[in-house]
Amino acid sequence: METSSHLLLHCNLFVSVWNHIYQWLGVSAVMPATVTDHFIQFSHIGVATKTRQSILQVIWFAIAWEIWKERNNKNFNAMESSISQVVDKIK
């Protein structure tokens, strides 16, 4: 059974996507166990001003949306993008 934590955080393919995004943002982090904890952690990386938190939250949702679309394309349309293609869509 697929869980939100597995899909968004722990699936090998999408862990690589997160790692590329962390590298793009110039930060490193340990992947929390739950989606909620990850969202909170991601929203507070670096200098945690309200504006930065808002920007990071938008980025987090963009990542989650692209992961969801990629999962659906793979499972329902037999289409698969590379990690770099997914990351480029997010950026």
CA distance 58 to 80: 24
Q: Is the pLDDT of residue 47 over 90?
A: no
Distance, in Å, from the CA atom of 28 to the CA atom of 39, rounded to the nearest integer, reads 15
Quick one: average pLDDT of 29-58? 91
- Look at residue 23 and tell me whether its pLDDT is greater than 90: yes
- Amino acid 13: pLDDT: 87
Sign of CA dihedral 76, 89, 85, 45: negative
Residue 45 domain boundaries: 4-90
The whole-number pLDDT of residue 2 equals: 81
- Give the number of domains in the chain: 1
